[in-house]
Amino acid sequence: MSALALSMLIVGGASANASESRVTPAKAVELAEQFIERNGYTATPPTLPISYESLEWGGSDEKILELRQATLKLPAYGYSCGDSGCVVIFRYAKPDPERAVGRAVTMDSRGQGLRVEHRDIFLNATDVVINAP
């Protein structure tokens, strides 16, 4: 497993008997893409109520959505999945030319508990690239 193993710890463990309900990588990507779209990170209007990151700037939902609006690109850049869950990485809509980073959506092994991680993640940390620039 890649450097994303540390990120995977935050999404919790999987039960030994839950293998039949484990999210597939394709479904994890689909869920993550819907999640960032629904929560205002793309140019598409969000669906209220929104999910919050662990640290948000702005105070009000309106300000939070203003700061998020059109910051990430669809489709997903890549993913890593393991026993604890999946991490799906998205590129920034306006990338920093000096830093190849994006944002990560994490989820548990059943495709639940989705959240956008507050900190940037290096694009080369993904195990599988599905949408290279």
pLDDT tens readout for residues 51-79: 988 787 777 888 899 999 999 999 999 99
* Other beta carbons less than 10 A from residue 28's beta carbon: 25
Tokens of 68: 């998020």
Task: Give residue 37's pLDDT.
Answer: 97
pLDDT value of position 19: 55
Determine the pLDDT at residue 17: 52
Residue 38 structure tokens: 């629904």
Separation CA 107–CA 120 (nearest Å)? 16
Q: Is the pLDDT of residue 7 over 60?
A: no
**Model confidence, pTM:** 0.82
Quick one: which of 25, 37, 44 has its CA closest to 90? 37
Output the pLDDT for position 40: 95
User: Measuring CA to CA, how many Å separate 53 from each of 25, 44, 70, 126?
Assistant: 23, 19, 16, 21
Helix (H) or strand (E) holding 26: helix 25-38
**More confident position, 81 or 5:** 81
Which residue from 109, 92, 85, 80 is spatially nearest to 36, judged by alpha carbons?
Answer: 92
